[in-house]
Amino acid sequence: MLTTTSVAYLKVTQNGSYKVEVVNNSCTSLASAAINISLTGVKYNKLDIGFSIYPNPTNGLFEIKLTSIAHKTYQLKLYNVSGQLISEEEMNVRIGKNSKNMNLVGIEKGIYFLSIIGDDGVATQSILVQ
């Protein structure tokens, strides 16, 4: 893969074998050893909705507020910091403003991630339970 950049980093967007050479005016360094890149991350897709969590931090009782441009069904999934699924449910969303109250009172204190998943992508926010 041949890529040229003038910044001190490279955002890799394709699988391939990469080597690094530094060029400063007419001086060129030796090429580095090849680094094989295989993209394995999750592609970030943003939904056509906006959402917020209030209050955050929370004691376990909070409200999810969503604004949508379409009638759709979404999956709400709550994960702990280890990526373990804590709860999941469906939410039917209508055009405009929507809200849903959540009750996680008694859940272990810590940081959680709420993902809203639809056909058009995923949006995730963190929640601090105190």
The pair of three-digit structure tokens given for residue 9, joined into one six-digit string? 């980093």
pTM (two decimals):
0.62
Per-residue pLDDT of the chain (130 residues; tens, 9 = 90+): 566 666 767 777 778 888 888 888 888 888 888 888 876 655 555 667 788 999 999 999 999 999 888 889 999 999 998 889 999 999 999 999 999 999 999 999 999 999 998 887 888 899 999 9
Which sequence spans correspond to the domains of the chain? 1-41, 49-129
**Residue 110, Ramachandran bin (φ over 0: left; ψ between -120 and 50: alpha; else beta):** left
CATH of domain 49-129: 2.60.40.2550
Longest dimension (CA), the chain: 65
Q: Which bin fits 106, alpha (ψ -120 to 50), beta or left (φ > 0)?
A: left
Q: What share of the chain is helix, strand, coil (3-state, %, to 5)?
A: 0, 55, 45
